[in-house]
Structure 1
Amino acid sequence: MFPSPPLPETGAPPQPPTSGSQALGVPGGALGPRGRAALLTGALVAALVVLALLAASIGAYEIPPRALLGSLLHRTGLGGAELDRVGESVLWNVRLPRVVLALLVGASLGCAGALTQGVFGNPLAEPGVVGISSGAAVGAVGSIALGLDVFGNWTVTVCAFLGGLLTAFVVYALSRSGGRTEVVTLILTGIAVNAFAGALIGLAVFRADNARITEITFWQLGSLAQATWPKVLAVLPCAVAGLAVAPLYARALDLLALGERPARHLGVDVERLRRALILVVALLTAAAVAVAGVITFVGLLVPHLLRMAAGPGHRFLVPASALTGALVLLAADLAARTAAQPAELPLGVLTALVGSPFFFWLLRRTRRGRGGWA
């Protein structure tokens, strides 16, 4: 489905000038870049496993972690014991689908954010900020409002993918000038696209009946409250395909970070690379939007935290962004459903409340670093 990554036959990609420890203000110590990356990866995996177990345990119906592990072992034929009838139903029909969906959506958004920043060569780029998430939401909302069922259970996902893909290429085309992506143009294009997408969604709401208005509201707020195993299976192929392909382009993204001209001299087909990665970003964004609605700022925040910890190398950054995105969204979803019990906070609203101040700080930091936006 995707073209093979254009990797040159030259030597290893350039090493970043500043290590992760130095970026955090810590003197370079015993651990090299690979050691830090391995340590962070292990810590992320361990934290993800622990948080997933907590998320499956905590809720209106408490399931002790030991009983939860017993049920998991019993289902896999490794011993353990079943929970009572209510506990089994809550765990396997409510909690676990939601946990798995949070992992898939968070991994997709985190990875899409790292790829978007690499493609545009801009630390402010993110599928939600530049309008790709809104474009995917328009595709999903349009299919709901029109009652489309062309692809069966895949209809919403396919429409979200097409909307995100079209938006990604429009933003890419409009934000380039003189062979480079301009910061101000990128942000203004994202603002315009988000506004236009909001107008289209408003028009869909105006024309929809009450039942479809409820569904459309779900996309606008962002939530995992309606997670089911069929929804997990519907989004799983898109998410897995995008997450599997993305790391193959890590080396080419490292070379692209040097600039387009040096990357071309080193054998990278820049335009082909960008088209392929925009396709991957649209696929990952569609996978997230199709089941969770518009959830912004995860793809912006996650790659920056990882760059501060381990440097800008994409061989670590791309897969680690998927892991960290899954961790962040799982934690956000747990907070959304427990912070105001018995009510549930909209997940998209919660991530925006946390991510917006981070974006303002990043905007000022980038402006100071570049000496203004001239």
Structure 2
Amino acid sequence: MTPLRTPDTRAPRAARRTLLLPVLLYGTGLLLLAAAIALAVSIGEIRIPFTTTLAAIGNALGISDVPLDRIHESIVRDYRLSRALVAACCGAGLALCGAILQALLRNPLAEPYVLGISAGASTGAVAVMVLGLGGGAVSLSLGAFVGSLGAFAAVVALSSGAASRPNRIILAGVASSQLFNALTAWIVSTSASAEQVRGIMFWLLGNLGGVRWPEVQLALAVVAVAFVTCLACARALDAFTFGQDAAAALGIPVRGVRLLLFTVTALLTAAMVSMVGAIGFVGLVIPHAARLVVGPTHVRLLPTALLTGAIFMVLADLVSRLVVPGQSLPIGVVTALVGAPVFAIILYRARPPM
């Protein structure tokens, strides 16, 4: 008589564990992001009780109607909350772009500004600020966005199309950056006053002081569309890490996917830079930190980088407002001071054994 076999329950347990881990990871990430935003909104030169902050956020989101002090509610809703949300979107967008470009270009040092978009945005913003292009009808953000698109067009032209070889695109980005940086320096040195130079330097290092709710709506929409598009291409990105030939062998339309993703990253970077200026190290460091947590598979890497970048930028903006009493540092200074040592640690840990 054949003995009865005990049903194997290891496979269902493994499946539940596989499903539970991402839920716990991203749920924790969302809670940390919410806590970071609440912390950033409640702390500043004017101290507001945390309960008042939560009530003001609830009123702004339409989920509560608590009577509050008008000054406190205005500070939370019209200044701090919009600033924190734009910071989160900016960090998420730059981290997402960094993860995409590092896969497409197969270069661990690739970041959103490798295509010269930051340099083009700087030229557009400086042209509006100093030369007054547009006669007041063109805003600083619009000028920066147009300059970003001009830089991307220059990269496409220099590389003979956005689907060219990675090294050719990187070299085209370097050339475009040098060109637009030279144009910016020429405008500043020949036409800007001392006060304008100070404002330009502050903007070039990242400035969240002028963002309001229209920028929040735009940033949320752009990041959401870009994230869904990139996540749909996660399988293609996994294949691109092994080269174009491997991706083509798997049936992926290499040229079309590369052109789509380059365009998405360029537009996303242009939108972020036009709102807050050039903020470095986020798109370079955050994807590497996310890989240490979830590995290189892009269906997990992209949402992890998105959340990590958002949390990092919100906390960096909080530090930039508090580190010097009475004034706000450019947020790019904080991201560089934090990002450079973190990136050095990542490089040290990833070094080959002697």
User: What TM-score bracket applies, with the shorter chain setting the length?
Assistant: 0.7 to 0.9
Residue 6 of structure 2 corresponds to which residue in structure 1?
A: none
How far the C-alpha of 1:244 sits from its partner, in A, is 3.1
Aligned pairs for 1:147-296 within 5 A: 147-149=132-134, 155-156=142-143, 158-166=145-153, 168-169=155-156, 181-182=166-167, 193-210=176-193, 212-296=196-280
- Name the stretch that deviates more: 256-265 or 233-242: 233-242
Contact kept, 8 Å, 2:151 with 2:176, in 1: the verdict is no
- Read off the aligned partner of 2:325 and give its amino acid letter: Q
Superposed CA offset, 1:253-297 (max 9, x none): 112223211210111121221111111111111111101111011
CA distance in 1: counterparts of 2:153 and 2:352, whole angstroms: 33
In the superposition, relative to structure 1, how do residues 126 and 316 fare at CA in structure 2: closer, same or farther (>3 Å)? same
The TM-score normalised by the length of structure 1 is 0.78
Contact kept, 8 Å, 1:221 with 1:348, in 2: the verdict is yes
How far the C-alpha of 1:334 sits from its partner, in A, is 0.5
CA distance in 2: counterparts of 1:192 and 1:362, whole angstroms: 28
Equivalent residue for 2:54, pick from 61, 69, 75:
69
Is 1:329 aligned to residue 313 of structure 2? yes
How far the C-alpha of 1:163 sits from its partner, in A, is 3.4
Contact kept, 8 Å, 1:338 with 1:344, in 2: the verdict is yes
Contact kept, 8 Å, 1:57 with 1:63, in 2: the verdict is yes
Contact kept, 8 Å, 1:104 with 1:239, in 2: the verdict is yes
Residue 3 of structure 2 corresponds to which residue in structure 1?
A: none
CA distance in 1: counterparts of 2:43 and 2:229, whole angstroms: 34
Contact kept, 8 Å, 1:33 with 1:310, in 2: the verdict is no
CA distance in 2: counterparts of 1:175 and 1:310, whole angstroms: 29
Contact kept, 8 Å, 1:333 with 1:347, in 2: the verdict is yes
Superposed CA offset, 1:154-213 (max 9, x none): 62354144135236536866999xx8535xx88776665544433222112124444654
In the superposition, relative to structure 1, how do residues 309 and 235 fare at CA in structure 2: closer, same or farther (>3 Å)? closer
Contact kept, 8 Å, 2:82 with 2:213, in 1: the verdict is yes
- Read off the aligned partner of 1:163 and give its amino acid letter: G
- Read off the aligned partner of 1:310 and give its amino acid letter: V
How far the C-alpha of 1:302 sits from its partner, in A, is 1.0
CA distance in 2: counterparts of 1:315 and 1:33, whole angstroms: 13
In the superposition, relative to structure 1, how do residues 359 and 70 fare at CA in structure 2: closer, same or farther (>3 Å)? closer
In the superposition, relative to structure 1, how do residues 246 and 136 fare at CA in structure 2: closer, same or farther (>3 Å)? farther
Contact kept, 8 Å, 1:168 with 1:278, in 2: the verdict is no
Contact kept, 8 Å, 1:175 with 1:181, in 2: the verdict is no
Residue 343 of structure 1 corresponds to which residue in structure 2?
A: 327
Is 1:105 aligned to residue 83 of structure 2? no
How far the C-alpha of 1:84 sits from its partner, in A, is 1.1
- Read off the aligned partner of 1:109 and give its amino acid letter: L
CA distance in 2: counterparts of 1:116 and 1:96, whole angstroms: 30
**Count of aligned residue pairs for this structure pair:** 338
Residue 82 of structure 1 corresponds to which residue in structure 2?
A: 67
CA distance in 2: counterparts of 1:168 and 1:41, whole angstroms: 36
Any idea what SS the aligned residue of 1:340 has? coil
Which consecutive residues of structure 1, in runs of 5 or more, have no partner in the other structure? 1-28
How far the C-alpha of 1:92 sits from its partner, in A, is 1.6
- Read off the aligned partner of 1:352 and give its amino acid letter: A
Residue 139 of structure 1 corresponds to which residue in structure 2?
A: 124
Contact kept, 8 Å, 2:115 with 2:152, in 1: the verdict is no
CA distance in 2: counterparts of 1:97 and 1:223, whole angstroms: 13
Contact kept, 8 Å, 1:307 with 1:317, in 2: the verdict is yes
In the superposition, relative to structure 1, how do residues 367 and 74 fare at CA in structure 2: closer, same or farther (>3 Å)? closer
How far the C-alpha of 1:227 sits from its partner, in A, is 2.0
CA distance in 1: counterparts of 2:235 and 2:186, whole angstroms: 43
Is 1:39 aligned to residue 24 of structure 2? yes
Which one has the largest radius of gyration? Answer: 2
- Read off the aligned partner of 1:169 and give its amino acid letter: V
The TM-score normalised by the length of structure 2 is 0.82
How far the C-alpha of 1:58 sits from its partner, in A, is 0.3
Any idea what SS the aligned residue of 1:128 has? helix
In the superposition, relative to structure 1, how do residues 194 and 75 fare at CA in structure 2: closer, same or farther (>3 Å)? closer
Q: Which has the higher contact order (CA 8 A, sep 6+)?
A: 1
RMSD: 3.3
